[in-house]
Amino acid sequence: MYQVVPGGAGGTITDGMPIKKIDKDSRPLVGAGVIGVILVIAAVTAWCYYIASLRKADLLKTELLDLNKDGFLIRNQAGGIVLKMGFRSGTLDLDSCSKEGVIIRCSRSFAGKVNFFIMTVKPKETVMCYRVRWEELESDRPVEHAMSYNESHWYGGAETAVQHWPIAILGQQAPKPFVTSDVYSNRHDFGGILERYWLSSNATAIKINDSVPFHLGWNDTEKTMYFQARYQDSPYKPAPGRPPYAELSYRVCVGPDVTSIHKVMVRRYFPKPNKVPAKEMFWHPIWSTWSLHKTDINQEKLLTYAENIRKHGFNCSHLELDDRYTSQYGEFEFDTQKFPNASAMFQKLKADGFLVSLWTHPFVNYDSTNFGPCVQKGLFVMEPTGQLPALVKWWNGIGGILDFTNSEARNWFMSQLRSLRHKYGVSSFKFDAGETNYLPWQFRTRVHLPDPSTFTRRYTEMAIPFNERAELRSGYSSQNISCFFRPIDRDSVWGYELGLKSLIPTVLTISILGYQFILPDMIGGNAYPNRTDGNGKLPDRELYIRWLELSAFMPSMQFSIPPWEYDDEVVAIAQRFTELHETLVAPRVIELAGEVLDTGDPIIRPLWWIATSDETAYRVDSQFLIGDDLMVAPVLEPGKQERDIYLPAGRWKSYKGERFDNKEPIHLTDYPVDLDEIAYFEWVQ
């Protein structure tokens, strides 16, 4: 402290005692005193800052989350760090932060005003959740957070063309729109079945809010996934009347183990089906015309196909008449050149015990007789001004795409399907397409779509009246559509890019996203030219057999290329595995399907579902569980009649009658599996 002395420079002292001048011998003592005073001031100041920093540190902690200006980290109950999230688009001004109960709020970043908060929620004693939100309030700059995944394994997100389990993050990708797409045509996009949900092996789950204009990117060098919200250069649009200010909001939940936290997330945040599809779809194979005949299908070929199914002693849930039974795309009447007497054909098939479903899609080509009336009625998705229909290109031509946010378009489309059902007794429909990549980059719909993938949801709703035997290939927030969902077309190859090896990772991914009634596409793949291992017309014989064996352990089986196209041995193998599906697999699957309505738990489960503490189980992508008590290990390599098998701890009985009572997981190396076999193990009570 210092003393105020009356007077000023050059002034005079008007009262008080005269000040005595300090002699030379006293000056060192005065200097030491001044230094002492300064040190005391510095110490007090440092102590004040220290106390303030402790208060700020305490302020920026909530339960097991620590917040700093550059991001936050979350720990589990044991104190281990399970998630690190960095703020890439800006840093918080911590002086603007405050804590009120379970909420930390901040009002500024170093770039301007923001609405940031983290709220702690504890839905169960063993689960801690955090609601995170960063909203820009002054500009349209993007909001981007970076999640470090390090050594943990992650699952979920979307169907992809090259599917791995767990997710394999390769290369660098700037954030791009996280919307549904046809990954057969666009191999580097996200797939037709997609949800904003990820799950990690360290018992952490993330769910991005529906309101976010969400873009996803990654960097395998930095071991990072980028979560970005933006409206610039994006198909997302803000709600009418709202400025294009980005908001990134999501939930992070941490639990005791990966299975437990997934169950919590599914029960809290996923819609669930309200009924189970027709049991016949679980019991008996579906027979499609597509892979065998492609568009070269007609009345005679369909009747012959049905006749051969019965001739070779196979059961049939229903026949699926695929593309192309109409003369133009967008019409709903049979081409009389190819089907001269469709009514008699349906009567014949019904008399022989066959139900029939038909292929359909959301497009009306410009050369269809329905194109003009649909334009006049305003049933199509429009270009941005709303004056003209937006023409789109799809794999069968150019036309309009029906606007399923428009009740008139929905009613028109539904009336066409109901007319086919009434006229011919059609049992159901295969709903193809529905992905957002078939929408124009700029478009207008009757009801505003902030998120383009909502269009996928509206399309899937068209299947509800036909859910008993309906089939969909796209889905977004569509888990409550009680239909079978099919992954995108598979190529007739062995590998991970839409081949046999991709099947288990894809089914597991779709299951984790909440879609449990899964139709794993056609046995042997689609036999497309230049994308088929084999003689060019038929898939490789060994590939077909291994595909058949795997499909027998899926919720439903689907043939197109029939086994009699090969030889009697393949027919015999097919007969044996369809019977095994009916006797061993279907009863379990139907029981589990009933449980899905209440729990949402997967029917097809990863091995870590029952082995949450085993690191190896998190990496196995060629085995799976049906429920908790049937483990399947197919052969997925050409020329192999053996494979390595991971057997979780427990009491198991193999399909050969061998018994294993292992208290720890074991590996069966080079376990023999003949060409006409698939390895499976049942839990012994």
What number is the average pLDDT over the span 206-232?
97
pLDDT at 269: 94
252-279 pLDDT, tens digit each = 999 999 999 999 999 999 999 999 999 9
pLDDT at 25: 55
Domain extent listing, the chain: 54-269, 279-360+404-433+448-595
Contacts of 119 (CB under 8 A, 6+ apart): 102, 103, 130, 131
User: Is 132 buried (19+), middle (13-18) or exposed (0-12) by CB count in 10 A?
Assistant: buried
Check: CB of residue 334 under 8 Å from CB of residue 372.
no
Q: Is 308 helix (H, G, I), strand (E, B) or coil?
A: helix
* The pLDDT of residue 87 is above 50: yes
pLDDT band per the 50, 70, 90 thresholds, residue 534: confident
DSSP, res 564: G
CA nearest to 160, candidates 152, 150, 170, 151: 170
CA angle 124, 128, 133 (to 5 degrees): 130
**Which residue has better confidence, 572 or 537?**
572
pLDDT band per the 50, 70, 90 thresholds, residue 23: low
* Residue listed under structure tokens 């709202």: 242
123-143 pLDDT, tens digit each = 888 999 999 999 999 888 999
Task: Specify the pTM.
Answer: 0.91
613-638 pLDDT, tens digit each = 999 999 999 999 999 999 999 999 99
CA nearest to 107, candidates 138, 85, 130: 138
pLDDT at 14: 38
351-395 pLDDT, tens digit each = 999 999 999 999 999 999 999 999 999 999 999 999 999 999 999
100-126 pLDDT, tens digit each = 999 999 999 999 999 999 999 998 889
Provide the CB-side half-sphere exposure for 182 (13 A, CA).
Answer: 15
Rounded Cα distance, 568 and 578, in Å: 15
User: Which CATH superfamily groups domain 279-360+404-433+448-595?
Assistant: Glycosidases (3.20.20.80)
51-83 pLDDT, tens digit each = 344 344 446 888 899 999 999 999 999 999 999
Rounded Cα distance, 125 and 6, in Å: 68
Span 54-269: which CATH code? 2.60.40
* Residue listed under structure tokens 């019977």: 579
The number of beta carbons lying within 10 Å of the beta carbon of residue 523 is 28
